[in-house]
Amino acid sequence: MRTLVLNAGYEPLAVVTFKRALVLVMNGKASIVAHDVGHPVWGSSGAWERPSVIILRRYVRIPSSRNVPVSRRGVLRRDNHRCGYCGNSANTIDHVMPRSRGGADSWENLIACCLKCNNKKSDRTPAEMNWTLRIKPRMPHGSTWLVRGVEKSEPEWDEFLPAAAIAAAA
């Protein structure tokens, strides 16, 4: 069971285990906003609700300059698991400028790609293949991109996550 942690301003901060969330609640650092009905946690002092969403009592300042780290999962999520060349379902990623030619492992050079297009393109550029990119690869932005675990959203979290994050998780 996972728990969504909200900042005091209701923006999503993190996804933690329900045990970690319960410790934050018991220490007075957070309050339960939504809980899993019918599954209490029993302790020596009684029963506690199993939190699915908690909110911190104090605001945690997040630096606005935080960059989203590049990852295969992140590129696929950013491109909605669609091939950047043909639009079919993608399960691999491709370097637009091949690594063999100095292409970097960056948000601007990686794109989701289906296996067929990835094999066909090989170590060539899209221009050499007479292909055009369906999207312009760039670093994702927004608070939900900084929250690990949101891509596997729980139904109780929907009202606390922006609509774009819910659509990306689906």
- Looking at residue 49, its pLDDT comes to 81
- Looking at residue 149, its pLDDT comes to 62
Q: Distance (Å, rounded) from C-alpha 29 to C-alpha 21?
A: 10
* Listed residue (74, 88, 89) closest to 137, CA to CA: 74
C-alpha distances out from residue 71 to 27, 32, 54, 141, 168, Å: 35, 32, 28, 14, 16
94 & 124 share domain: yes
Q: Distance (Å, rounded) from C-alpha 153 to C-alpha 4?
A: 9
Per-residue pLDDT of the chain (170 residues; tens, 9 = 90+): 789 999 998 888 888 998 899 999 989 999 999 988 777 888 787 888 889 999 999 998 876 666 778 889 889 988 999 999 999 999 999 999 999 999 999 999 999 999 999 999 999 999 999 999 999 999 887 666 666 666 667 778 888 876 544 444 44
- Looking at residue 145, its pLDDT comes to 65
Q: Distance (Å, rounded) from C-alpha 12 to C-alpha 55?
A: 9
Query: Helices (DSSP H) in 5-62: which residue ranges?
Result: 18-26
42 & 6 share domain: yes
Residue 81 covered by a domain: yes
Residue 107 covered by a domain: yes
9 & 59 share domain: yes
Residue 41 covered by a domain: yes
- Looking at residue 12, its pLDDT comes to 87
The domain total for the chain is 2
46 & 13 share domain: yes
Residue 136 covered by a domain: no
Strand pairing report for 46-56 and 92-95 = unpaired
Cα dihedral 148, 149, 152, 158 in deg (nearest 10): -80
Strand pairing report for 2-6 and 30-43 = unpaired
User: Which CATH number fits the domain that encloses residue 121?
Assistant: 1.10.30.50
Which residues form the domain of 38? 2-64+142-169
Q: Which two tokens stand for residue 115?
A: 């296996």
18 & 45 share domain: yes
121 & 148 share domain: no
- Looking at residue 37, its pLDDT comes to 79
The amino acid at 121: K
